[in-house]
Chains A and B, each alone.
Chain A
Amino acid sequence: MTSLIETTDLTRILHEAVPVTLVRDVTLSIGEREFVAVTGPSGSGKSSLLYLLGLLDRPTAGTLKIRGRDAEPMSEKERAVTRLTNIGFVFQFHFLLPEFTARENVEIPMRKLARLTRAEMRERATGLLSSLGLEDHLHKRPDQLSGGQRQRVAVARALANDPPLILADEPTGSLDSKSSEQVFAILEALVNERGKTVVAVTHDLDMAARMHRRIHLVDGRISEEEGAKPGF
C-alpha cells in the first residue's frame, strides 16, 4: 500500500506579537482508501492541520510529502496544480460560487484542469450530482438550495477531477442531524465504493467512532491515535 500523505514533525507557528502554535510536531502517514477522523477540542489545530495537508498553508517546520513528493520546494503554481488534481476540499460552510448553478460549480475544477471536453464535463457533473441525490437541483444556484444540498454539491465539486484525497473540515458541522447523516454516508461511500481517502475533521464522537481511524489533537499535537493500519 502506497502512502498518499506523509508528514514528519509538521509544525505551523504564526509569528505574531505573541507567537501562536497552530500545529506542532505532527508525524503521520495516510494511505489510500482510508477514512480518517481528526478530532479534538475547539481550537486544538484541527483545521490548521487540514490546511497544511491540503497545501493551502505552508508549514514553518517539518516536511510534508504528497504521493511521495516533497511539497516544500514546490512553486505556488505547482501547489495549485497539485490541489487541482489530487485534493478535494469540503469546508464547514459550503463555499460555492454564488453566481453559478450547482452543475456549473461542479464543472469549474474540471474546466480549470481542461482534460475533458465540455460535453464530457457536463455529463460527469450531472452524474456526480445525481449520485448524491441532486438530480433535480442541477440548475439551481446555491441560494436556492438547502444547507445539506449545498454541502452535497460541495462534495460533488471536490470529486470533480477524481482526486484520490478528500479533505473535509467539519462537513456536517452546520447541518441538522438528518442532513449530517446523509453527508456522512456519502463520505463513507467515497471510501468504500470509490476507493478515495477521506480525512474529515469532526466534533461528533459517534461519527468518529464509525470511521476507520481516529487522530486526536490537543494543542496542536497528536495526543492519541487509534485504528492506524499495520505498517504505518
Chain B
Amino acid sequence: MHLILDIAWTHIAGRGRQTFVAIVGVAVGVGFSIAMAALMQGGQDDFVRQLVDTMPHVEVSDEQRSARRQPAEDVFEVAAISGLRPRDDRRGIINPTAAQSWLEEWMPGRFAARLNAEGVIRYSGREVGAVVIGIDPEREESVSPIVEDFREGSFAALTAGGNNVVIGDTMASRLGAGLGDTITAVSSEGLTRNFKIVGLFHTGTTARDEGEAYVLQKNAQILSNRPNAINRISIKLDDPNAAPAIARRVEAELGYKAVAWQEANESILEALVVRNIIMYTVVAAIMLVAGFGIFNIISTITHEKARDIAIMKSLGFSEADMRRLFVLEGVAIGGAGSLLGWALGFSITYALSLVHFEIAATGQEMTRLPIAWSALHYLIATASALGSAAIAGYLPARRAAHLNPVDIIRGAT
C-alpha cells in the first residue's frame, strides 16, 4: 500500500546515518558474497573444464573390475576363495577390431585405441621414465587434448611412418634433446628402439610434459613385443555429462573396466561440493551479520515510534498493517543494500578478473584468476539478503504490532 510505503519512508529517512550504516552492511555482505561466488564458481568451472578437456571422457582399459567367476563357486554351495585377482592379460583388450567396430556403430563421439607401454627414454647418457604411447595419429588427433599444445611439429608428423616420436618439452629439456635428435626407447621387456623427435608439446601438466612419448601404434607394439595389441580406448563424447551412462554400457558389453571422468575424479568432485557448502555457509553467516544491523535499526525505530504506532492504531490501522510497515522498512534497507551490493560485487569481481600472475609450481599453469560471471550469484546473494532483512524486520515488527495503544496513550505527556 502506498500509504504504508510513505510512512516507512519517513521512518527510514528520519534516521539517515543509521540507515546508511545498515545499508552499507548489507551491501558489503552482498558484494563480497557475489565476488566470492564468482571466484569459487570460476575456480570450479575452470577445474572441471580442465578435467573434461584433458581427460578422456571414458577410458576403457584392459583391466577387469573383478576376477572371473571360479568353477568352485558353481560346483559347491559354499566356497571361499582368497587372494583372487582379475587376470592380467598381456595381450591387452582381446579382439580389439570387433570392439572398435561395435563402438563405431553407436558412439556419440569419437574414440581412439592406444597401446600404453612402460619404458625408459634415453639420450646421451640421461634417462627418463616414460609411458610410450602407441597411437593412430589420425584418430588420436580427434580425442587428444595435446593437439593444441604443440610447440613444434604435430601428430601428423608421425603419420608418415618411420621411427618417429613426439615428446613433451619438459622431457626434452631433461634429456637435453631437441627436435630432430634421436632418442632411444627401452621397454620393460628389454627391447630397444631408436626414435627421432619430430614434435614437442607443452600441455602445462607436468606429469604429461615430462612422462609421455607418442609413437606409432605399430612401433609401440614392436617395442613391447605385443603384436596387434591395444590396451586403452579413449573416448571423447559430444556431451561429457553422458559419460557415466556410456561407460556402463561399454563395460557391460566389452567386460573391461570403463571409467567415466566423473568416476576417475570422484573425490575431487566431492571436495567441490564440500567447498560449495562451505561457501554458502559463509554467505549465510555474512547475511546474518547484515541482518543484525537491520534488526538493530528497526528495533530502534519501533521504540522511538511507539507513540506513532499508538496513533496509527487509534486511527484504525490494524496489527497486520503495523507488521507490514516495519517488515517493509527492513526489506527496503535490504533491497537498497542489495542494489549497492551488486555494484560492489561487480566491481570486486571485475578487479579480480584483471589480476595477472605466473604460477607454474602447481603443475597447472595459471595466469589469471578464474572468474565466473553469473546472474545466479546476484540472485542468490539478493535473495538471502532480502530474506534475512525480512526476518530482521519481522521480529521487532511483531512486537510493535502487539503494543497496546492504550498503554502508550495513557503514558504520554
Contacts and interface: CB of A to CB of B under 8 A. Distances in A.
A91 interface: yes
A93 B314 CA distance: 14
Interface string A92-124: 010111111000000011011100000000000
A77 interface: yes
Contact of B315 (A47, A76, A108): A108
Given A81-B316, A93-B412, A112 B3 contact: yes
Contacts of A76: 318-319
Contact of B318 (A47, A77, A87, A99): A77
B405 interface: yes
Interface in A159-173: 161
Interface string A56-88: 110000000000000000001100111111010
A89 B316 CA distance: 10
B308 A112 contact: no
B406 A83 contact: no
A161 B317 CA distance: 13
B122 interface: no
B410 A83 contact: no
In the A-B complex, the 5 residue pairs with the smallest Cβ-Cβ separation, listed nearest first, are A84-B316, A99-B10, A80-B318, A83-B316, A111-B3
A87 to B, nearest CB: 8
Contacts of B410: 47
A97 B7 contact: yes
A54 B314 contact: yes
Interface string B401-413: 0001110011011
B68 interface: no
A80 B413 contact: no
A112 B316 contact: yes
A81 B307 CA distance: 20
A199 B333 CA distance: 43
Nearest to A54: B314
B314 A97 contact: no
Contacts, number: 71
Interface of B: 2-3, 7, 10, 14, 307-308, 310-321, 404-406, 409-410, 412-413
Interface of A: 47, 51, 54, 56-57, 76-77, 80-85, 87, 89, 91, 93, 95-100, 108-109, 111-113, 157, 161
Contacts of B311: 95-97
B9 to A, nearest CB: 9
Contacts of B3: 108, 111-112
Given A56-B405, A108-B3, A80 B317 contact: yes
A108 B2 CA distance: 11
A22 B315 CA distance: 23
18 contacts: A51-B406, A56-B409, A80-B317, A80-B321, A83-B315, A89-B314, A91-B409, A93-B413, A95-B314, A95-B412, A96-B311, A97-B7, A97-B312, A100-B10, A108-B3, A111-B3, A112-B315, A112-B321
A112 B317 contact: yes
Contacts of B7: 97
A83 B311 CA distance: 12
Contacts of B310: 95
A109 B315 contact: yes
A85 B316 contact: yes
Contacts of B10: 97, 99-100
Contact of A83 (B308, B314, B319, B409): B314
Given A93-B412, A95-B307, A56 B314 contact: yes
A85 B318 CA distance: 13
A51 B319 CA distance: 17
Nearest to B404: A57
Given A54-B314, A99-B14, A112-B315, 18 more contacts: A47-B410, A56-B406, A57-B404, A80-B321, A83-B315, A87-B316, A89-B314, A89-B315, A91-B409, A95-B310, A95-B412, A97-B311, A97-B312, A108-B312, A108-B315, A112-B317, A112-B321, A113-B316
Nearest to B311: A95
Contacts of B413: 93
Nearest to A84: B316
Contacts of A81: 316, 318
Nearest to B316: A84
A80 B313 contact: yes
A91 B413 CA distance: 11
Nearest to B2: A111
A125 to B, nearest CB: 14
Contact of A109 (B316, B319, B404, B412): B316
Contacts of A51: 406, 409
